[in-house]
């Protein structure tokens, strides 16, 4: 009987210990998250602005040229939307993409620079929109960031 109790006790400890073991990737401090998107100039009338989204939902928009709203605007999105943004980065497999897609397949196009910081680690990608070798899923992510934050309200 004692052996059975010892086996059960060891088994319970092992199971609870394994359940408590999480890798750094599995535990994400939402407050450590910072997502950025910057759209740069082209030889024309491309909107020039940047977005910074913090894990607490704070969004900072900075409009420069060819946008409806110039200057700095601060607003808040829900934590659910922040989680949705993080999920979009994961669906894109952002961390496995190259750091830059800057081949000049065509000229006069703007660039989009995105980044995500999680648990103190930052990944940044520069995407020249004239580089036809860039994966479509990167462009889709860039557009999804704008959509979730509703940046069109400042850009038009």
User: For the residues of 127-155, what is the DSSP string, one character each?
Assistant: EETT-TTS-HHHHHHHHHHHHHHTTHHHH
Taking the C-alpha atoms of residue 71 and residue 63, their distance in angstroms, rounded to an integer, is: 5
Asked if residue 55 is part of any domain, the answer here is: yes
Domain span at residue 88 reads 24-155
Q: Does some domain include residue 13?
A: no
50 occurs within a structural domain: yes
Average pLDDT, consecutive stretches of 10 residues, N- to C-terminus, the chain (156 residues): 50 48 62 98 97 98 99 99 98 98 95 98 98 98 99 96
What local confidence, expressed as pLDDT, does residue 27 receive? 76
Q: What CATH number should be reported for the domain holding residue 130? A: 3.30.1560.10
Domain for residue 48, yes or no?
yes
């Amino acid at each position: 009987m004692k052996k059975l109790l010892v086996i059960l006790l060891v088994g319970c400890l092992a199971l609870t210990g394994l359940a408590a073991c999480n890798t750094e990737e599995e535990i994400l401090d939402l407050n450590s998250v910072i997502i950025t998107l910057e759209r740069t100039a082209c030889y024309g009338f491309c909107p020039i602005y940047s977005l910074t989204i913090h894990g607490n939902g704070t969004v900072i928009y900075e409009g420069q040229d060819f946008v409806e709203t110039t200057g700095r605007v601060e607003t808040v999105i829900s934590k659910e939307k922040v989680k949705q943004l993080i999920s979009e980065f994961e669906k894109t497999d952002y961390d496995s993409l190259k750091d830059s897609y800057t081949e000049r397949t065509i000229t006069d196009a703007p660039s989009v620079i995105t980044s995500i910081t999680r648990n103190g680690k930052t990944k940044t990608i520069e995407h020249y929109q004239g580089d036809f070798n860039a994966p479509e899923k990167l462009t889709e992510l860039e557009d999804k960031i704008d959509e979730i934050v509703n940046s069109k309200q400042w850009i038009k």
